[in-house]
Structure 1
Amino acid sequence: MAAAPVRRPQALPLDVNVIHLSHSAGASDGGIAIAVAELVAAQQQAGLEARWVTADRFKGFRRDRRLRRELCTAAPDLLHIHGLWRSPTRIAPALAASGLPLLIAPHGMLDPWARANSRWKKRLVWQLWERRALETAHCLQALCPAEAEAMAALGLATPITVIPNGVAIPDRSQPLAAPPWSDRVPRGDRVLLFLGRFHPKKGIGPLLEAWSQLATAAARAGWWLALVGYGDGGRLAARVSSEGVERCLVLGPCFGDAKNACLAGASAFVLPSFSEGLPMAALEAMAWRLPALLSPACNLPEAFGASAAWPVAADGAQLVVGLGRLFAAGDLQLAQMGEAGEGLVRSQYSWDQVAKQTRELYRRLLAGSSR
Structure 2
Amino acid sequence: MNILHTIASMDAKAGGPTTCTFDLATGLNALGCRTDILTIASGNRATSSIQAPFIKTVPFDAKTPLQISRHCRHFLQQNQQYDLYHTNGLWLDINHATCAAARKFRKPCVLSSHGMLYPRALERSFWRKKLILSLGHRNDIASATCLHATCQKEMEFIRTFGYKGPIAVIPNPTPPVKWIDTIIENHSLKRIGFLGRLHPVKKADKLIKAWKQLGNKVADAELILMGEGTPEYEKYLKGLAAECKYGHITFHGFVNGKAKFQELANLKVLCLVSDFENFGMTVTEALSVGTPVIANTTTPWKDLNTHHCGWWINATVDNIAITIEKALHLSDKEIDSMSIRGKRLVSDKYAADKVAEMMATLYKWLLGECSKPEFVYE
TM-score when normalising by structure 2: 0.85
Instruction: Give CA deviations for 1:307-341 in whole Å, capped at 9, x if unaligned.
Output: 01102334222222222222232222222111111
1:164 CA drift (Å): 0.6
Which of 231, 234, 248 is the equivalent residue of 1:233? 231
Q: 2:73 matched to 1:68?
A: yes
Structure 2 residue aligned with 1:44: 29
Structure 1 residue aligned with 2:194: 194
Structure 2 residue aligned with 1:158: 165
Structure 2 residue aligned with 1:167: 174
Structure 2 residue aligned with 1:7: none
The question of whether the paired residues in 1 share the 8 Å contact of 2:189 and 2:266 is answered with: no
Structure 1 residue aligned with 2:83: 77
Structure 2 residue aligned with 1:147: 154
Q: 2:94 matched to 1:91?
A: no
TM-aligned CA distance change 1:147 to 1:365, over 3 Å: same
How far apart are the structure 2 equivalents of 1:124 and 1:314?
34
The question of whether the paired residues in 2 share the 8 Å contact of 1:90 and 1:133 is answered with: yes
State the structure with more CA Rg.
1
Instruction: Give CA deviations for 1:11-40 in whole Å, capped at 9, x if unaligned.
Output: xxxxx1011111111145301111111111
1:136 CA drift (Å): 2.0
How far apart are the structure 2 equivalents of 1:292 and 1:19?
34
Which of 47, 58, 61 is the equivalent residue of 2:60? 58
The question of whether the paired residues in 1 share the 8 Å contact of 2:150 and 2:279 is answered with: yes
Moved more, 83-92 or 246-255: 83-92
1:189 CA drift (Å): 4.2
How far apart are the structure 1 equivalents of 2:5 and 2:231?
30
Unaligned stretches of 5+ residues in structure 1: 1-15, 180-186
How far apart are the structure 2 equivalents of 1:43 and 1:249?
39
Structure 1 residue aligned with 2:126: 119
TM-aligned CA distance change 1:364 to 1:178, over 3 Å: closer
**Partner AA of 1:191 in structure 2:** R
Q: Is the partner of 1:47 in helix, strand or coil? A: coil
**Partner AA of 2:29 in structure 1:** Q
Q: Is the partner of 2:15 in helix, strand or coil? A: helix
The question of whether the paired residues in 1 share the 8 Å contact of 2:241 and 2:249 is answered with: no
TM-aligned CA distance change 1:193 to 1:242, over 3 Å: closer
How far apart are the structure 2 equivalents of 1:243 and 1:304?
30
Structure 1 residue aligned with 2:135: 128
**Partner AA of 2:60 in structure 1:** F
- Higher relative contact order (Cα pairs below 8 Å, separated by 6+ residues): 1
TM-score when normalising by structure 1: 0.86
Moved more, 289-298 or 330-339: 330-339
TM-aligned CA distance change 1:32 to 1:213, over 3 Å: same
**Partner AA of 2:351 in structure 1:** S
TM-aligned CA distance change 1:26 to 1:105, over 3 Å: same
Structure 1 residue aligned with 2:265: 264
Map of 1:1-371 to 2, 5 A cutoff?
Answer: 16-56=1-41, 57-59=59-61, 60-61=63-64, 63-75=68-80, 76-99=82-105, 100-170=107-177, 174-176=181-183, 189-219=189-219, 222-233=220-231, 235-241=233-239, 243-246=241-244, 247-367=248-368
The question of whether the paired residues in 2 share the 8 Å contact of 1:207 and 1:315 is answered with: no
The question of whether the paired residues in 1 share the 8 Å contact of 2:5 and 2:86 is answered with: yes
Q: Is the partner of 1:318 in helix, strand or coil? A: helix
Moved more, 353-362 or 108-117: 108-117
Q: Matched residues, percent identical?
A: 27
How far apart are the structure 2 equivalents of 1:188 and 1:155?
48
How far apart are the structure 2 equivalents of 1:178 and 1:97?
50
TM-aligned CA distance change 1:28 to 1:281, over 3 Å: same
The question of whether the paired residues in 1 share the 8 Å contact of 2:268 and 2:292 is answered with: yes
Q: Is the partner of 1:259 in helix, strand or coil? A: helix
How far apart are the structure 1 equivalents of 2:35 and 2:230?
33
State how many pairs are aligned.
347
1:118 CA drift (Å): 2.4
Kindly report structure 1 stretches of 4+ aligned residues shifted beyond 4 Å: 176-179, 368-371
Aligned-residue Cα RMSD (Å) equals: 2.5
